[in-house]
């Protein structure tokens, strides 16, 4: 991986760490308001979210809205051995367990497993995003691998603080593009 990418990741994570809890709350709410008004969200029945950790955009208000609207809320489970994700639906109030990297994850009951083909929308976390729809993550390649194996039928929509949108994330051959990006003040499509 390029030195440029590593430096951008470090810089963006430092900036994110400096957000106050109040900023995280306010900006996340603004992102969620846009997200739930998005046609793909409104039309989707099965939505893959992520469980926010550290100071990632908190998408839990949108998860609540999805449950209220009768949609299926899905979370990823990361397998560090294969660097792959699997997906499990989550009921409102259902407890999560601490997974790899300390991120809360569904317990992984076989009956809750969701095949990628059943997902309508993926809400994509990231460290930085660019104006062409590329993203920079934590460097695990989890979402890149998932998207290259399963190009659809779902839409991929990134969520970001405004400062996380940069001119370029220096994409490499394997980097997968998003269909859209939502910030507190903009809804972009690519
Ligand atoms: N909330 C959330 N859940 C998610 C992701 C995400 O970005 N956000 N993922 C998106 O992929 C997957 C988990 N991927 C991750 C990959 C690396 C690290 C991480 O902390 N890496 C260390 C590097 C050292 C190491 O490999 O242990 C680091 O950044 O300090 C965290 C999550 C699945 N679940
Ligand atoms: N489709 C793929 N198949 C195999 N390896 C891949 C694939 N996509 C990415 N990788 C590998 O994963 C590693 C991490 O990629 P990258 O730095 O782009 O991750 P990221 O997008 O920042 O992380 P994440 O998707 O987990 O948030 C790279 O070494 C890359 O070669």
Residue 97 DSSP SS3: strand
Whether the CB of 61 sits within 6 Å of ligand 1: no
| Cβ atoms of 88 and 108 closer than 8 Å | yes
Is 93 flagged in the annotation as binding?
Answer: no
Work out the number of other CB atoms within 10 angstroms of the CB of residue 25: 13
**What ligand has the least distance to the C-alpha of 170?**
2
**What does the pLDDT read at residue 118?**
97
The torsion defined by the Cα of 147, 149, 152 and 158, in degrees rounded to 10, comes to -10
By C-alpha distance, which of 59, 53, 60, 108 is closest to 85?
108
**What does the pLDDT read at residue 110?**
85
By C-alpha distance, which of 85, 103, 98 is closest to 142?
85
Whether the CB of 142 sits within 6 Å of ligand 2: yes
**What does the pLDDT read at residue 2?**
83
Which stretches of the chain score pLDDT less than 70?
Answer: 1
In the structure encoding, which two tokens stand for residue 134, read together?
């590329």
Over residues 42-77, the pLDDT tens digits come to 999 999 999 999 999 999 999 999 999 999 999 999
**What does the pLDDT read at residue 184?**
98
Is 141 flagged in the annotation as binding?
Answer: yes
The CA R_g of the chain, rounded to the nearest whole Å, is 15
- Residue 12 CA, chain-centre distance (Å), reads 16
The ipTM, to two decimals, is 0.91
Could you give the domains of the chain? Answer: 3-92+116-181 (3.40.50.10420)
């Amino acid at each position: 991986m390029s030195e440029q990418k590593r430096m951008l990741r470090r810089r963006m994570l430092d900036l994110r760490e400096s957000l106050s809890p109040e900023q995280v709350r306010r900006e996340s709410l603004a992102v969620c308001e846009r997200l739930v008004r998005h046609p793909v969200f409104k039309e989707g029945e099965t939505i893959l979210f992520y469980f926010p950790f550290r100071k990632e955009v908190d998408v839990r208000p949108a998860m609540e809205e999805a449950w209220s609207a009768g949609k299926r809320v899905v979370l990823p489970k990361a397998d560090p051995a294969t660097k792959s994700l699997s997906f499990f639906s989550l009921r409102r109030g259902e407890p999560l367990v601490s997974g790899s990297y300390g991120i809360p994850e569904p317990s992984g009951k076989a009956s809750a497993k969701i095949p990628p083909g059943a997902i309508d929308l993926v809400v994509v976390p990231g460290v930085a995003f660019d104006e062409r729809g590329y993203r920079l993550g934590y460097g695990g390649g989890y979402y890149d691998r998932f998207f290259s194996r399963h190009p659809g039928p779902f839409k991929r929509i990134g969520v970001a603080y405004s400062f996380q949108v940069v001119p370029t994330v220096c994409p490499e051959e394997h980097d997968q593009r998003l269909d859209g990006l939502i910030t507190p003040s903009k809804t972009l499509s690519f």
